[in-house]
Structure 1
Amino acid sequence: MPSTRISKRTVDSAIPGARDCYLWDSELSGFGLKVTPSGAKTYLVQYRTGGRGMPTRRITIGRHGSPWTPEQARQEARRVLAAVDLGEDPAAAKADKRRDLTVSDLCDLYLAEGCTTKKSSTIRADQGRITWHIKPLLGKRKVGDITRADVERLLRDVATGKTASPQRSSKGGSRATGGKGAASQTVILLRAMFAFALARELREDNPATGIKTFQVRKLERFLTEEEMARLGKTLSDFEKKGANPYLIAAIRLLLLTGCRKSEILKLTWDCVDTTHSCLRLPDSKTGAKVVPLGRTALDTLIKLQRVPGNPYVISGKGGNGQLVNIDRTWEKIRGTAQLPDLRLHDLRHSFASVGAANGSSLLIIGKILGHTQPTTTQRYAHLANDPVLVAANKISAAIAGALDQPSLRKDRHHKFHVQLNRAAILLNKQV
């Protein structure tokens, strides 16, 4: 970017590029603005100590926004450059100070500055793992003192439930259950945090690199046709008894669309396209996507009564905002339907399993579900009708028909051979 005076106007108009871009101030040498591809804008200072032959060093002042305005960042840059003129090296002093950070301090710094490109749902999950597992086990230790053995010990402790707690967090968040899955995810988060510390020169290595995590099998629970009938009857019974119609509709939509729970609960009416029978979601776990709606799903939406002034499809209690929690009622519903192990997310799996069993290609199923990787949809491959088996069934059926009729008339004999030839051709194509 060309050199110009850094002001609010120039900062607001700075456009992200394919890589990090730098805007240098034309009045205060060394004062600059870094713009990342994600759009994050950070003020910084660049300087040299010891003359022209020495390499340049940079200090991050802070992200644009409260409290850092262009003028406040400029004032801080002047203070740093004045210290350099007096022979100090602020970057080295800052690094020395940060090397004494505790793991708890690193967690806070990572959440504040290292999660720029993460989605809010991922950050909430990170906060939970930090609160329940990382801080209790390593929080008081110095960042520079953590070893590979410490991380491996944390993996074992979380897996065996040492940090599990029946209580929810103070903000009403999730419980800490521990287990192998939680342990693996916590180590993956630690690995990212120490990579962040390495980039900030808080450590010279990453003690979580190369640690093998548990191979946790993803739960795959699919509703059978008989189970779907039981669930459908239970939903109707609950609705007749006065259950929240928006909650019942939410559960139906989870099964009829294959959407995630958050996508349905956060759905707003402006995202519902009845003309083209689809949902146009501006954001999801995998980014913006279009969810096609079958006739029954569309009818479910059309029948829902809109609450004046409330943009959410699944209205909250009293018609205000969105419905936040459906888990307690879901537990009652699945208990009544005699499906005690059925999770809400299994409704999404069931949608995909029905599609695979009915002959829909995995590519189409993945597109409906919003999968970005084909391997994610591959878990449903074993549920699809095997085309080779279909062809073999047709051939065996034709042969069985002949075996049951020892004396075939000429026309039936010809018909049998035509069927057999067609089945053989089909089998050859599939193989």
Structure 2
Amino acid sequence: MAPNPRSAKITKRVIGALTPEGARYTVWDTQLKGFGVRVAATDTKTYVVPYRMIGGADRLLQIARHRVVTAEEARERAAAVLAQVASGGDPQLTKFERREELTMAGLCDLYTAEGTALKKASTLQIDKIRIARHIKPRLGRMKITDITRRDIERLMVDVDLGHIRGEATPHTRGGIHAAARRRDRFLSQAELARLGDVLTQMETDGGDPRHLDIIRLLALTGARKNEIARLRWSEIDREQGLLRLADSKTGAKIIRARETRLAVTVYVANFGKENFAWPACLARSEVATCRAARTWRRSFGPSRRASAGSTSSSPTPPSAPTRRWARSRTRSSRP
């Protein structure tokens, strides 16, 4: 058997004739200086380009394995690499940086680990669901520099069409007219009066006074649902008629509630004894009540509207956050 050459014009035939030896060796191309094919003892054949940086550091760039690209394609890539080196570039460093570049999944993991210090727990929960259900399945494996505007738009369309997996929240579910569901309407004086009559009748019929008080405060203050449902006694300034919320979606804030008389009619005797103004039960005062939505649906249900002498559609509460909550909670009870 003829010995393997150490230089030749690298072609498919030449590479096919190369056989493995006891140690790795390289055959250099006679057509392009600096281009070669390395043959390992395992008979693996790889196109390579060695080069020296301006500072004297030696590099060896592996272009691709034989059969992944042809000899002619490898020679063209080698010529481009050598041209980049001649202009002061470092193709090996570029390749390494490309390999180490974050994928979208890695970026999302970095965000959840280090970028959420100022996020509310509820907002962070929604972000995690969006990442797990929308972003990672569609874009997770892509390098961040490869993601284009078109990729983002396609993802937004898929979410809008509801092409997502099972678990979701009302904030992450998407759907065809998700943006069109927003409405800007306030309760009229007549609607407020009708709501008051319905709540009074419900209280007479044995409705939970905690839930009725929550709904009254929602309607009269325009606060968010959990700002009232999870209101603490320590946040109620009875002397000045204020709700001094230690925390909310937008941080600490004050809600003027003098004209509402704070709507606290049942647990006044327990003021200061319980953590929450409307606890889930007196035995577990550390848990805020979260069942007011059931009473909300009843108050806007067909039977209640009929008893109040109304045939119009269910009114929405006065604030934007409460409007969104009312819409999702009352949709099933509309006639």
Report the counterpart of residue 304 of structure 1 in structure 2: 267
Residue segments in structure 1 that go unaligned for 5+ positions in a row: 1-91, 183-214, 352-431
SS of match in other structure, 1:275: coil
Number of the residue aligned with 1:333: 299
How much does 1:332 deviate?
2.3
Is 1:348 aligned to residue 319 of structure 2? yes
Does the 8 A contact of 1:259 with 1:348 survive in 2?
A: yes
Aligned length: 220
Residues 145, 349 of structure 1: CA spacing in aligned structure 2 closer, same or farther, 3 A cutoff? closer
How far did 1:135 drift?
A: 2.5
Q: 1:265 aligns with which of 216, 225, 229?
A: 229
Equivalent residues of 1:334, 1:340 under 8 A apart: no
Contact preservation (8 Å) 2:212, 2:295: no
Question: Deviation string for 1:52-99 (max 9, x for gaps)?
Answer: xxxxxxxxxxxxxxxxxxxxxxxxxxxxxxxxxxxxxxxx99976652
Distance, in Å, in 2 between the alignment partners of 1:349 and 1:119 is 19
CA RMSD of aligned residues (A): 3.5
User: 2:211 is matched with which residue?
Assistant: 247
Shift of 1:285: 2.7
Paired amino acid for 2:195:
L
SS of residue in 2 equivalent to 1:135: helix
Aligned to 1:375: none
Match of 1:62 in 2: none
Residue in structure 1 matched with residue 289 of structure 2 by the alignment: 323
- 8 Å CA contact 1:115, 1:123 repeated in 2: yes
The aligned residue for residue 127 of structure 2 is 126
1:177-222: CA deviations, max 9, x gaps? 314786xxxxxxxxxxxxxxxxxxxxxxxxxxxxxxxx86852122
Tell me what 1:178 maps to.
Answer: 174
Q: What's the counterpart of residue 228 of structure 1?
A: 192
Per the alignment, residue 248 of structure 2 pairs with 284
Give the counterpart of 2:201 among 228, 234, 237. 237
Deviation at 1:315, TM superposition (A): 1.4
More helix by share: 1
One-letter amino acid of the counterpart of residue 224, structure 2 = R
Change (3 A) 1:244 1:104: farther
TM-score, normalised by the number of residues in structure 1: 0.44
Q: Any stretches of 5+ residues in structure 2 without a counterpart?
A: 1-93, 306-311, 323-335
- Report matched runs for 1:23-422 at 5 Å: 98-99=100-101, 101-163=102-164, 165=166, 168-169=167-168, 173-174=169-170, 176-179=172-175, 218-298=182-262, 300-301=263-264, 303-305=266-268, 306=270, 309-317=273-281, 319-320=283-284, 321-335=287-301, 336-338=303-305, 341-343=314-316, 346-348=317-319
Judge conservation of contact 1:222–1:350 (CA < 8 Å) in 2: no
The 8 Å contact of residues 158 and 164 in structure 1, kept in 2 or not, is answered as: no
Residues 271, 281 of structure 1: 8 Å contact kept: yes
Question: Conserved in 2, the CA contact under 8 Å of 1:273 and 1:280?
Answer: yes
Aligned 8 A contact 2:162 2:173 in 1: yes
Aligned-partner SS, 2:254 = strand
TM-score by length of 2: 0.55
Deviation per CA, 1:22-71: give whole Å up to 9, x if none. xxxxxxxxxxxxxxxxxxxxxxxxxxxxxxxxxxxxxxxxxxxxxxxxxx
Q: Secondary structure at the match of 2:288?
A: coil
Structure number with greater Rg is 2
Higher relative contact order (CA 8 A, sep 6+): 2
Letter of the 1:250 counterpart: I
